[in-house]
Amino acid sequence: MTKSMTRILKNLENTKKSYENYRNTIQKKYVKKWNAIIFLTTLILLATPLYLIMESNFSLFWFEKLFSTSVSTTLIIQGINVNETIGYENNGLKMPVLEIEGLEKQVGIGRACTGYRSILALFALTFSVPKIKFSKKVKAIIKFLPVMIIINYLRLYTTILLGILFGDNVFNFVHTFLWREGLIIIILLLWSYWLNSQKKHRHKVSPL
Check residue 180 and give its pLDDT.
83
What does pLDDT average to over the chain? 83
Check residue 193 and give its pLDDT.
92
Centre a 10 Å sphere on the Cβ of residue 182 and count the other Cβ atoms it contains.
Answer: 13
**Is 41 contained in some domain?**
no
Q: Residue 135's domain spans which residues?
A: 47-204
**Is 62 contained in some domain?**
yes
**Is 90 contained in some domain?**
yes
Answer for the pair 155, 183: CB distance below 8 angstroms, yes or no.
Answer: yes
Q: Which residue has the higher pLDDT, 154 or 39?
A: 154
**Is 28 contained in some domain?**
no
Check residue 97 and give its pLDDT.
96
Q: Where are the alpha helices (DSSP H) in the chain?
A: 3-46, 48-55, 61-77, 116-127, 134-166, 168-173, 179-204
**Is 100 contained in some domain?**
yes
- What pLDDT digit, counting tens, does each position of 189-200 carry? 999 999 998 876
**Is 155 contained in some domain?**
yes
**Is 25 contained in some domain?**
no
- H-helix or E-strand containing 99? strand 94-100
Domain count for the chain, please give it. Answer: 1
**Is 13 contained in some domain?**
no
Q: How far is CA 183 from CA 145, 190, 191, in A?
A: 14, 10, 12
> Among 44, 189, 204, which residue's Cα sits nearest to residue 127?
44
**What is the C-alpha to C-alpha distance for residues 64 and 37, in angstroms, rounded to an integer?**
36
- What pTM value is reported for the model? 0.78
